[in-house]
Amino acid sequence: MSLNKNNCCIYFLIFLNFSIYAQEKKKDSTKLEKLDEVVVTGQYNPQSIKKSVYNVRVINKEQIQQIAAVNVADLLNFNLNLNIIPNGETGRSRVSFFGLDARYFNILIDNIPIVSDNGVGSNIDLTQINLDDIERIEIVEGSMAVQYGSDAMSGVLNIITKKSSDHKWRINTTIQEETVSDEYEWFDKGRHIQGLTISHNFNEKWYASAGITRNDFAGFFNNRQGRDYIETDGLRGYEWLPKEQLTTNALVNYKINNHQFFYKFEYYNETINFYNATVRTNVNTQTSTINPSATDRIYTTNRLFNHLNGNGVFNSGIRYNVSLSYQEQKRNLNEFNYFILTQERTAEIDETNQSSKVFFSKGTLSNLFRGERFNAQAGYEFTYQEGFDREAAGETNLNPKRRNIRDIATFTSAEIRLNEKLKLRPGIRILHNSQFDFKSVYELTARQLFNRGYELRVNIGTSYRVPDFTELYYYFVDANHDVRGNENLNPEEGLTAFLSLKKKSWLNDGKLKLENNLKFTYIDLRDRIELATVSTLPLQFKYININKYNFLGLTSNNSIKYRNWNASLGATLFGISRTLENQVNANDKHLFQFQLNSSLSYRIPKWNTMLSMVLNYNGEEQNYRVTGNDDNGNSTFSIETIDAYAWMDASLRQSFLNNSLEATLGARNLLDVTRVDSDFLSSNGAHSSNANSRLLGYGRSFYLKLLYKLNF
């Protein structure tokens, strides 16, 4: 991206905010402000967004229903600085937040980090998190390392589940049918979702709920020919793997006076089918027949989630919150030789490839001082993870090596209200990892309220992240791959700074509401861990520490509400720089990318109808890539360019039978994106052919969701 383009983007971001600010009339008053949504993530006490020192975004149930999102990956496609990275070959989707990968973004359910293949809370497959029976999602931008640990360097996403109901009985049933591009059949093609949730208020103290959701994704063929194809032209199988997910959950909640206790259980099962494109003909010369076969695999993931929580307020005013969680996840591999014509299996291997058992406990005491000017919180966090990853570590023996990691942390913070408008929150976390020494991280967050609805928030924090299992022990070497971990990696350390200026305005006697937010982001990491090319001939990859990683970003979010209209427009410009001091040809200049986000919705009260459209534009992306060696044997680098693309969804939601029946008709990926091309500059300055591409989606798809609500 050229300098002129960068300047234009910066001017555009500033114009988005201040052109709207200028329209405000003097008679505008915050007296017209309605109560903000209440948030809990990172707070001492539940409070409104305006009172929070953190910059919090809330995605409510209405927004989730509007796009018929089934899992977190469906939902987050249209959030600035938050990119979904799908992988059709594995069926997984990861997240990138403020240019940092999923290892720096903590995903929680009711403040409990979720177990993943190689960690706890981070690097989560977003397609595995079901959105059934949730109340809202809170996204906190900025360093949360004091309260949530090193994996929360860029922020946290907290899924808040329902724990009460306004009705004695609540029964929700859901059916959703989707095409996958232009592929659809009742069973064998498309996406088929069914769900049932039942909840009951026994009395004022006891509440219980249970639910089950089935998500059957039949895969995306594109030009591939599926399981029963016998030709040897490489077209067997699917471009996007089929998978079936089953999620069941149950919750029991007990309230008495100012105390609440709940237990939540969830069981998740996922089956992914891999059909090998390489077909063996198996010619029988005596009978002049063939019996084609292929080496196929079935991956099965099972996850158990248990969470016991007690929270409340003592008579002294001190608030407590204690959680105990036990989670277990296993990924099994069933590999076999599949004879396509006879559907027989031989040479079956059935083994557990990955296993994780995690015990997690966290407790906090808040309101340690009852003064209006000063408050404090203290807490602890303990994580014990035990398991193995046979595939990642390259282990083929029957008894793979189990490893365990223990993390113990204590943290404390204070909220200092210097006056009615200025609040400071300093904090410190002392942590110990079983493989590394004690370390401290610090954080200072401040919120300043100004006249006429201006809100300024600043978050500055240090960070410390130890290498995870994959980065330390990964080993995958065969005839086509050479990817290795590194047991000599150093922990990462860094500094993050987030600044947000928000403005709320009410015009035309409160009928028109404007909200503008201008944000600046700075992230600086030392010893950043990345997978790098360490040799081009033969091609080898290894996890290494790079000397420095730097992220600069400027973001503008703007929304307008007028009567039944709701619109938003946002944009971000960010640049990433990597420093490799041991590489003489490396370039550490910032490479910039531009993103644009917009939405428009209109409600027709007379018909109980909601129309909406969302658009996300991702500009051209650039990265440095090793392309060879110079005369002295040093690695040479060229710029790899990934083309820009846009993603658009639209929907119509209609309620019937006094809101008991709700139908949502919509389209995903209206611009029909499947892959985006990438190329890189060779040493002579010319672009190579577009031999590489990134798989992003499976094309334009349509869906119909029916939700029936029975409340009494």
Residues in the chain: 712
Judged by average pLDDT, the poorest of 366-370, 448-452, 526-530, 597-601 is 526-530
What is residue 25's predicted lDDT score, i.e. its pLDDT?
A: 45
Predicted TM-score of the model (pTM): 0.86
Structure tokens that stand for 685 in this block: 């300055």
457: confidence class by pLDDT, cuts 50, 70, 90:
very high
Judged by average pLDDT, the poorest of 35-44, 233-242, 611-620 is 35-44
Q: What is the mean pLDDT of residues 376-389?
A: 89
What is residue 544's predicted lDDT score, i.e. its pLDDT?
A: 83
Max avg pLDDT among 78-87, 97-106, 551-560? 551-560
Judged by average pLDDT, the poorest of 22-36, 212-226, 536-550 is 22-36
Q: Does residue 160 belong to any structural domain of this protein?
A: no
What is residue 687's predicted lDDT score, i.e. its pLDDT?
A: 40
Q: What is the mean pLDDT of residues 563-579?
A: 91
Domain that holds residue 322: 3-154+166-711
Distance CA 235, CA 238 (A): 8
Local structure of residue 62 (DSSP, 8 states): H
Q: Does residue 299 belong to any structural domain of this protein?
A: yes
Q: Is the pLDDT of residue 246 over 80?
A: yes
Residue 584 or residue 257, greater confidence: 257
- What ranges in 290-432 are assigned the alpha helix state H? 390-393
Structurally, how many domains does the chain consist of? 1
What is residue 13's predicted lDDT score, i.e. its pLDDT?
A: 56
- Summarised one tens digit per residue, pLDDT across range 623-661 is 877 777 777 777 777 788 888 999 999 999 999 988 899
What is residue 393's predicted lDDT score, i.e. its pLDDT?
A: 56
341: confidence class by pLDDT, cuts 50, 70, 90:
very high
What is residue 119's predicted lDDT score, i.e. its pLDDT?
A: 65
Percentage, residues of the chain above pLDDT 70:
88
Q: Is the pLDDT of residue 691 over 60?
A: no
Q: What is the mean pLDDT of the chain?
A: 84
Residue 453, classed as helix, strand or coil, is helix
Neighbouring residues of 497: CB distance < 8 A, sequence distance ≥ 6: 458, 459, 460, 520, 521, 522, 523
Q: Does residue 161 belong to any structural domain of this protein?
A: no
What is residue 670's predicted lDDT score, i.e. its pLDDT?
A: 93
What is residue 639's predicted lDDT score, i.e. its pLDDT?
A: 81
Q: Does residue 30 belong to any structural domain of this protein?
A: yes
What is residue 397's predicted lDDT score, i.e. its pLDDT?
A: 55
Judged by average pLDDT, the poorest of 86-100, 293-307, 512-526 is 86-100
In what helix (H) or strand (E) does residue 432 lie, and over which residues does it extend? strand 422-433
Burial class (CB in 10 A: 0-12, 13-18, 19+), 530: middle
CATH assignment of the domain containing 615: 2.40.170.20
What would the DSSP string read from start to end of 510-571? TTEEEEEEEEEEEEEEEEEEEEEEEEETTEEEEEEEEEEEEEEEEEEEEEEEETTEEEEEEE
Q: Is the pLDDT of residue 569 over 70?
A: yes
6: confidence class by pLDDT, cuts 50, 70, 90:
low
Q: Does residue 495 belong to any structural domain of this protein?
A: yes
Q: Which of 122, 119, 120 is nearest to 157 (CA)?
A: 122
Judged by average pLDDT, the poorest of 309-318, 463-472, 574-583 is 463-472
684: confidence class by pLDDT, cuts 50, 70, 90:
very low
Residue 141, classed as helix, strand or coil, is strand
